[in-house]
Chain A
Amino acid sequence: MTTILIRTLIIYAALIMIMRFMGKRQLGELEISDLVTTLLISELASLPLTDESIPLSHAVLPILVLMALEVLLSGAILKFPFAKKLFSVRPAILIRHGVPDRTAMRAVRVSMEELLSQLRQKDVTDPDEVEYAILEPNGQISVVKKASRQQATLEQLGIQTTEAGMMHLIVSDGQIHRRNLEQAGKDERWLEAVLLTRHCSLDEVFLLMVDDGDEIRFFTKEGKT
């Protein structure tokens, strides 16, 4: 167990540093420490499953150590700038004012083809449309289009709008979601009034939603609205 504890610490530190130097492209949606922890935990968990002679503690101990390290490391990254510099990758600007930055692309090992592919996924076909393309620490590319290429907003067009906010799920399959009801600023008396106006009991309701502008979406189990 002593050996296992020390080996876990060494492997964790080594993998974090290796992933850190491998760069952002390997990460996908995860932060470095998340990825390392996920990789190690999945492997460790399978050990006692496949080999009965390995005690459960040989998997449980490293998993708990990794979990604790993960929480402590994420806390250290938030609190100490040097830890953030050491363990977390920084965003890299790949296109600046429509011009691809070859040096930055080389540093993060992103080819022009890959960058163009990522831009196409953001509905951009010409790098000249881009003010900034940024490779984020989680491996995704954020695109800020030039002002002249951005779609006009309703505000810019001078069209008056009202904020509908989000739809709150109030009743589903006859069950009241009281927390959502509260978040929508309503109460059960309001719900009773709505059901009364629709000539419907709670059990008959399949879906009832309301937005912040009091717009209601209503369906009974028989499909009536």
Chain B
Amino acid sequence: MKGYVIALALLLLLVAAVVWNAAYIHGVTEALLGKLDSLPSAPATDQTPAAVKWIRDEFDRQTTLLQITVPGSTIDRIRESLCLLELYAASGDVSQYAAALVLLREQVEAMAHPEKLSLSNIL
């Protein structure tokens, strides 16, 4: 009987961990998207590269925890896109900056995609 209780408790604990993890990743994604929304659509000011760098540093601080459940390749892609965005923000190349921003948004959204409870995801 004790074994079954432990197994049931373990199962419930795992479900709780999965739910918490999904909420955490959604939180990180939403926060990151919010910060990206606050960036100007064109790198008009000198402050834009610094703002992107701040976003990159903030994301780097989260990666230790994220790496537990998010594949390394997903995190690497986001980090790479943040570096590119910072580079284009510094160079002042409007079209490249805009394209990098769109790509980054997609990659950040992709990080939370597996946590969305949808039939297409499960199948």
Contact = CB atoms under 8 A, between A and B. Distances in A.
A69 interface: yes
Contact of B8 (A54, A61, A68): A68
A72 interface: yes
Contact of B69 (A55, A69, A71, A72): A55
B72 interface: yes
Say which size band chain B's interface belongs to. 20 to 34
B14 A68 contact: yes
The majority secondary structure among interface residues of chain A is helix
Interface string A42-84: 0000000000111111100100110111011001000000000
Contacts of B116: 2
Contacts of B73: 53
A61 B71 CA distance: 14
Say which size band chain A's interface belongs to. 20 to 34
B22 A55 contact: no
A149 to B, nearest CB: 43
Interface of B: 3-4, 6-8, 10-11, 14-15, 17-19, 21-22, 67-73, 114-117, 121-122
Given A55-B67, A57-B68, 18 more contacts: A1-B18, A1-B114, A2-B114, A2-B117, A3-B122, A5-B14, A6-B117, A10-B122, A52-B72, A55-B69, A57-B69, A65-B11, A68-B7, A68-B10, A68-B14, A69-B11, A71-B3, A72-B4
